[in-house]
Amino acid sequence: MNINISERLKKLPPYLFAELDQLKKREIAKGKDIIDLGVGDPDQPTPGYIVEELKKTAGNPANHKYSLSRGMDRLRSSIANWYENRFGVKLDPFKEILPLIGSKEGITNIPLAFINPGDVALVPDPCYPPYKSGTIFAGAKNYLLPLLEKNDFLPDLESIDKAVLTRAKMMFLNYPNNPTSAVAPPGFFDKVVALAAKNNIIVCHDAAYSEICFDDYKPTSFLEARGAKGVGVEFHSLSKTYNMTGWRIGFVCGNAEVIEGLRKIKTNIDSGIFQPIQFAGIRALEGRQDSIVEIRKIYQQRRDILLAGLDSIGWKFFKPRATFYVWMPVLPGYTSTELSRLFLEKLNIVVTPGVGFGKNGEGYIRMSLTVPTERLKEAVERIKKFN
């Protein structure tokens, strides 16, 4: 028999990390001491009191059953409290909040609720890959919003073709941004709201890095912008905030009709988050938030070590005010893939080529601050020696 993959799978952008993944495996097999600055996954453990809550609730048979797809009431109200404390935005825990099995789950499923085949979705480029795959799965044509250095890695909203705006149903945005580490300046979200309201476009803002910030910078939420709740939603994740990537818990909040659309999709696809993980999430959101302060301090220290190293040899970079990524222009004469290959073969350091996040990522590499400080110092030494 012939097994043929679907057109939607064929339409996904190519996976450009395959060659580097192979190369990395080969170098590790050779016994090389590889420093992996490629992963977007915190190296620090989940705070102990959150793990304890999982242990405590995992033994209760009442928590072993299917949970509700819309999440426990307690979880939704603790999300509402956390959100109001953090951003000063009030949310209705029943209509304006929906827990997710990680924000990636909601991001990839939400287009199914609002996109018809042939509709346009506005997607930033470079970007976190699920914006592209989720919209493609729903049958959308993606119109790319280039995130360019000359625009501080913000989309040029004025340059979007009028005909495209008329056909666009959804727009994805992400600040603080992965992979560029750019942040949204004051007033930016107001412009987004105006554009979305005028053209009837649902805004999906991904705020996964809202709590990973440095110096005196504190990211704002999209929903703080006047009128934002009328046009869109914001995705949040406990993954980066509480070092909980493997647990799979996040949430989306904002426009009630948009939330309800995603909820309908989800009730047909999943059966909720394992309840002990919901309890652990409640504990995380309601607990002392000093683990976040500690996490920020660690990443900031690492950022400063890496940037001081790059600075001392005259390499250019963009100093992140948020996220745990450093976005750096390639050295002259290299593509992002060539430079990543050089880093791996000559320095035994894994970095991510920008082109893997989309064509406008060409010309840059991304380095993660998710390795222990000592390893990062070692990476800096290798880079300096090589230079």
Ligand X SMILES: *Cc1c(COP(=O)(O)O)cnc(C)c1O
| 232-237 and 250-254 beta bridge pairing | antiparallel
Q: Return d(Cα 168, Cα 188) in angstroms, integer.
A: 19
Residue found under tokens 């990524």: 325
Residue 44 binding ligand X, by CB under 6 A: no
Of the candidate residues 57, 69, 133, 174, the single one contacting ligand X (CB under 6 A): 174
CB of 301 to ligand X, least distance (A): 21
CB of 333 to ligand X, least distance (A): 30
Residue 40 binding ligand X, by CB under 6 A: yes
Of the candidate residues 220, 239, 336, 352, the single one contacting ligand X (CB under 6 A): 239
Q: Pick between residue 178 and residue 278 the one whose CB is nearest to ligand X.
A: 178
Q: Six-digit token pair at 13?
A: 């952008």
Q: Which of 250, 243, 335 has the alpha carbon at shortest distance from 295?
A: 243
Helix, strand, coil % in the chain, rounded to nearest 5: 50, 15, 35
Of the candidate residues 24, 70, 76, 104, the single one contacting ligand X (CB under 6 A): 104
Per-residue contact flags (x/-) with ligand X for residues 198 to 237, judged by CB under 6 A: --------x-x----------------------------x
Neighbours of 200 (CB within 10 A): 11
| 110 three-state secondary structure | helix
The pairs formed by 262-265 with CB atoms below 8 angstroms and a separation of 24 or more are 262/98, 262/106, 262/109, 262/110, 262/113, 263/69, 263/70, 263/98, 264/113, 265/109, 265/110, 265/112, 265/113
CB of 368 to ligand X, least distance (A): 10
Q: Return d(Cα 177, Cα 67) in angstroms, integer.
A: 32
Q: Return d(Cα 331, Cα 338) in angstroms, integer.
A: 10
CB of 103 to ligand X, least distance (A): 4
Angle of helix 73-87 versus helix 275-286 axis, rounded to 10: 30
Q: Pick between residue 199 and residue 220 the one whose CB is nearest to ligand X.
A: 220
Residue 368 binding ligand X, by CB under 6 A: no
Q: Return d(Cα 373, Cα 379) in angstroms, integer.
A: 10
Q: Pick between residue 143 and residue 324 the one whose CB is nearest to ligand X.
A: 324
Of the candidate residues 46, 67, 69, 178, the single one contacting ligand X (CB under 6 A): 178
Q: For residue 196, which phi and psi values (nearest 5 degrees)?
A: -65, -40
Q: Pick between residue 206 and residue 211 the one whose CB is nearest to ligand X.
A: 206
CB of 370 to ligand X, least distance (A): 11
Alpha-carbon distances of 266 from 93, 223, 370, rounded to whole Å = 17, 23, 32
Binding part of the chain for ligand X, among 100-108, 142-150, 280-288, 307-315 by CB under 6 A, reads 100-108
CB of 40 to ligand X, least distance (A): 5
> Binders of ligand X: how many residues, by CB under 6 A?
14
Q: Pick between residue 40 and residue 281 the one whose CB is nearest to ligand X.
A: 40
Q: Pick between residue 67 and residue 237 the one whose CB is nearest to ligand X.
A: 237
Q: Pick between residue 245 and residue 335 the one whose CB is nearest to ligand X.
A: 245
Residues of the shown chain interacting with ligand X in the complex, contacts defined by CB under 6 A: 40, 102-104, 128, 174, 178, 206, 208, 237, 239-240, 245, 250
